[in-house]
A and B are shown apart, each in its own frame.
Chain A
Amino acid sequence: MSMSKNGYVPFDLDISGNSVNMLFIKVESKFEAWQMVTSSENVLDFKKKAAAFLKKGYIPTGVTSLSKGSLSVLMLKIKGLGIKAWEIYSGPFDERKITNVINDYYKNGYVPVGLHIDGNRCAVIFLNFGK
């Protein structure tokens, strides 16, 4: 959490083998807390587990996998940053297909954030700020 004292918040991460890679971005708002929520790759399963944190003001930003067949989502609580809706895409990874998936969400007001690619599978988190 020492990074957060300088305004950087952990935004996405990749955990594979013995390495952990993290992306931090610097935000002006106060970073209050974070949570990791793990579920199966089933999107409905994850949404059910994440619901309690969403109600408390957390937003999903990062996604990785700690074990085969599972998804772990990083959820952040940042003062003043709320969302209207969110979605998570989980499916086969194909560069052309994922472009179309992101474009379709983007046209509907969803911004892509966290990204996970594991072999031929991928997951993307989308946030809708209602703007």
Chain B
Amino acid sequence: MLIATDTFAAEWTLKRYNNEWAKVTNGIEKNDTPFNLTPVGIACTKKNIFVLSVPKTVFNSKEWLFIEANSVE
């Protein structure tokens, strides 16, 4: 779900997803990648994952990935 974008030309977006990384990945590939945006910020809450994206040209980055790890007591 798109919750925010800039008022000019989609030069950044902040999106809220359900707390499932598979949906986040699919969402970015569908909503950001075609517009030459790449994720640069993530924030997780109990219910949601927020993703902040900016133009790929800012960091000359074409690829990204998430890694989720659970600590073992």
Beta-carbon nearest neighbor of A105 in chain B: B12
- B7-64 residues with Cβ-Cβ distance < 8 A to A are 7, 11-12, 14, 16, 21, 38-45, 49-50, 52, 54, 58-64
Q: Is the interface of B mostly helix, strand, loop or mixed?
A: strand
In the complex the two chains form, what is the Cα distance from A25 to B38 in whole Å?
9
Taking A23-B66, A102-B12, A112-B12 as contacts, is the C-beta distance between A117 and B45 under 8 angstroms? yes
Contact B69 A19 (CB under 8 A): yes
User: Shortest CB–CB separation between residue B23 and chain A, in angstroms?
Assistant: 14
Contact A115 B65 (CB under 8 A): no
- Tell me the number of A-to-B contacts counted with CB atoms below 8 Å: 119
Give chain A residues whose Cβ lies under 8 Å from the Cβ of B45. 117-119
Q: Select which of B6, B43, B52, B64 is within 8 A of A103 by beta carbon.
A: B6
The number of chain B residues touching the other chain, given as a range, is 35 or more
- A1-51 residues with Cβ-Cβ distance < 8 A to B are 3, 8, 11-14, 16, 18-29
In the complex the two chains form, what is the Cα distance from A19 to B63 in whole Å?
23
Contact A115 B3 (CB under 8 A): no
Contact A95 B38 (CB under 8 A): no
Contact B67 A115 (CB under 8 A): no
User: Shortest CB–CB separation between residue B13 and chain A, in angstroms?
Assistant: 10
Give chain B residues whose Cβ lies under 8 Å from the Cβ of A81. 59
> B residues bordering A, Cβ < 8 Å?
3-7, 11-12, 14, 16, 21, 38-45, 49-50, 52, 54, 58-71, 73
* Sample (6) of A-B pairs whose CB atoms are under 8 Å apart: A8-B63, A61-B40, A95-B14, A99-B14, A113-B41, A115-B50
